[in-house]
Amino acid sequence: MSETKITPVKSVSKGNLSPVRIVVNSKTGAIITANTDSPEYGYYRVEQTYEVDNIYNGFSELRRVSALRKGKLDVLKKQVMEAQENNLILPGKITTQEYLEDNIPEVIKANVFNKKLSLEQNIDRYAKRAGEKGPVLTYKMKRILSFKFYDANDVLPQITIDHDNVAEIQAWNNNKKASALTSTTSSILPQNEEFLNESAQTTEG
């Protein structure tokens, strides 16, 4: 399946996909998690890793993507039991589809967005960010939304949008590095001052 790239900022190639695997909920230790408001329904998480190569600078890295499989608990339990025969490995892949905030397909709004939340809350929930708590990635001042789907039959196209707010992300990264350096320096200096004071008292004694 081909990958669609829109307004690329950097040229990358993707390959060496790992198998899709069912993973344990790190908070509960269970595979299947029941919904609190509708306990007859639930979900489990699937993950996949892949290698990304930056063609320009030759830098390679592994990235991990995940998606949820939702449904009635009895159906999910059957899926998990069948997957246990193959070490919890599933066929297919996890597909990423990204859209600008003003171009979200109606099928995604209808099937992915939480109807209990406002449109703005849903957009914020799926906004693509620089890291877990970093700035939202944008293109021409519009937020990029990123959706992950488990695609058992490999029929969905991969759609990605590269951001153009590069300066904002670089400034955020620089500030984060400076804050980390300041924090490290602050944690070291009091110990050095205490050591100097103790040394001075020892000398005076």
Higher pLDDT, 31 or 200: 31
**Beta-sheet strands, E only, within the chain:** 3-6, 12-15, 20-23, 33-34, 41-54, 60-72, 89-90, 93-100, 138-139, 142-151, 158-161
* Predicted confidence (pLDDT) per residue in 82-102, tens digit: 999 999 999 999 999 999 999
Higher pLDDT, 99 or 174: 99
* Closest alpha carbon to 53 in 67, 63, 38: 63
| Predicted pLDDT at 75 | 97
| Predicted pLDDT at 108 | 95
Higher pLDDT, 204 or 69: 69
| Predicted pLDDT at 60 | 78
CB atoms within 10 A of CB 199: 10
| Predicted pLDDT at 205 | 46
| Predicted pLDDT at 80 | 97
List the domain boundaries for the chain: 9-91, 95-164, 176-205
Most confident of 53-57, 184-188, 195-199: 53-57
* Predicted confidence (pLDDT) per residue in 11-57, tens digit: 444 566 889 999 999 999 999 999 998 999 999 999 999 887 766 66
- Confidence check: pLDDT of 120 > 90: yes
SS3 30: coil
Q: Which two tokens stand for residue 152?
A: 């058992």
- Confidence check: pLDDT of 196 > 70: no
**Beta-sheet strands, E only, within 16-92:** 20-23, 33-34, 41-54, 60-72, 89-90
- Confidence check: pLDDT of 195 > 50: no
C-alpha dihedral, 138 to 141 to 142 to 144, nearest 10°: 0
Average pLDDT across the chain, whole number = 84
Q: Over range 107-127, report the average pLDDT.
A: 95
